[in-house]
Amino acid sequence: MARLSLLLLVLLWCCAGADAAAAAVPRSLGQSLSLRAAAAAQRHARHQPGGGHPPDERVTAVLNTFKRPDMLRRAVEHYTQCDVVDAVRVVWTEGGTPPATDGWRIGGAAGVDGAPRVQFDVLPDSLNSRFTPLPALRTRAIFAVDDDASCDDLALALEAWRNAERTLVGFYPRLHVWRRGRLQYHSWWYVWWHGEYSIVLTKAALPPPTPSSSPSIGLTG
């Protein structure tokens, strides 16, 4: 998995009511990047002496993988070393039995309830399985990810999400516009050059929580 070299926190405001009326989307990349400095200052101010974060300030990393055993192991080992990660859940859609993690370098300890730090969730072979609500999550925040993000960048993204939980906070902005009678789609370089975006990909993002009382990764419209 390629490490994300640049953190770009972008927010998509979620629907405020049952009619799913879209709220305004921030358009300026300058605003998004300025969020980094503000969130970093807040993170340092709230950092507890001796390290560590209380449970309500942590995140569950949900990894989506398919037939990449070496990359999966590296990702699990990496995210369990992050101070803000409570647990790692692997969405397993390959069939068969998930791999044993006995020889993996799993950081940290089990949760206060004895739950393992790494757990495989066996689901159907579908790209949509990554959005299936997962049971027994201990955190409100979920980080759905295909790629690596540094522990510091993940902590920053979590801080941004905590300041506006009804948003999608992600690392991959894109722009789609209607021009000359057709829809045009632009990737990162166009977004960076023009300073605008309209959507955020969910390949590395913290989605808003579902309306249910228990946390899950399910996205709502």
Is-contact 139 60, C-beta < 8 A? yes
Residues 6+ apart with CB under 8 A from 4: 147, 148, 149, 150, 153, 171, 204
Rounded alpha-carbon distances, angstroms, from residue 218 to 85, 89, 120, 151: 19, 14, 17, 24
Within a 10 A sphere around the Cβ of 213, how many other Cβ atoms?
Answer: 6
Mean pLDDT over the full length of the chain: 75
User: What is the pTM assigned to this prediction?
Assistant: 0.72
Determine the number of helices (DSSP H) and then strands (DSSP E) in the chain.
4, 10
Domain boundaries, the chain: 10-206
- Burial of residue 50 (CB within 10 Å: 0-12, 13-18, 19+) is exposed
Q: Mean pLDDT, to the nearest integer, of 40-55?
A: 47
Only one residue has tokens 């790209």, namely 127
Superfamily of domain 10-206: Spore Coat Polysaccharide Biosynthesis Protein SpsA; Chain A (3.90.550.10)
Residue 52 pLDDT level (bands cut at 50, 70, 90):
low
Res. 109: pLDDT tops 70: no
pLDDT tens digits, 177-192: 998 899 999 998 999 9
- What pLDDT is attached to residue 114? 54
pLDDT tens digits, 115-135: 678 999 999 998 889 889 999
Res. 12: pLDDT tops 60: no
Sheet holding 173-179, edge to edge: 182-186, 173-179, 199-200
